[in-house]
């Protein structure tokens, strides 16, 4: 599992097709790939990790977090005050000046579940907010 890489090439091609032609069919194709994707979510580093897990995270290796570990996502604030949960299809979609303290690779539906559990704080989930802004 430590050698597992995120490959969202098909998702990124579908996003580009939707950006070029915002038809329903292109949107559905994005959603089809997205529901099976591992995406990147900016977050604050989890607290109270054991030293070995912390070391693996710093090295960019996959780790299994326990149920007690709290993940605090970095949210984007819109001009109107609403907050959105940003997710990214690849590291290339995160501008260098927008890096967060940590980036977590999570299944798309885990990110959606986090947003749904925090509806009082999160208005939307935004895919590639600095490039395609879906």
Q: Please report, in tens digits, the pLDDT of each residue of the chain (134 residues total).
A: 334 567 899 999 999 999 999 999 999 999 999 999 999 999 887 777 778 777 777 776 777 776 677 778 889 998 888 999 999 999 889 888 887 877 888 899 989 998 998 888 999 999 999 998 88
Q: What is the value of pTM for the model shown?
A: 0.81
Of 56, 40, 31, 55, give the one whose Cα is nearest residue 94: 40
Q: Dihedral of CA 62/59/46/83: which sign?
A: negative
Our CA angle for 29, 38, 126, nearest 5°, is 65
pLDDT at 4: 52
pLDDT at 67: 67
pLDDT at 98: 81
Cα–Cα distance between 54 and 59 in angstroms, integer? 9
């Amino acid at each position: 599992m430590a050698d597992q890489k995120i490959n969202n090439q098909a998702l990124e091609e579908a996003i580009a097709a939707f950006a070029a032609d915002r038809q329903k069919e292109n949107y559905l194709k994005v959603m089809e790939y997205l529901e099976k994707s591992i995406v990147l979510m900016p977050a604050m580093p989890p607290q109270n990790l054991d030293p070995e897990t912390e070391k693996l995270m710093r090295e960019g290796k996959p780790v299994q977090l326990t149920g007690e570990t709290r993940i605090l996502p970095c949210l984007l604030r819109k001009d109107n005050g609403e907050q959105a949960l940003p997710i990214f299809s690849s590291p290339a979609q995160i501008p260098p000046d927008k890096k967060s303290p940590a980036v977590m690779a999570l299944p798309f539906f885990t990110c959606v579940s986090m947003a749904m559990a925090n509806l009082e704080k999160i208005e939307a989930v935004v895919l590639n907010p600095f490039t395609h802004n879906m």
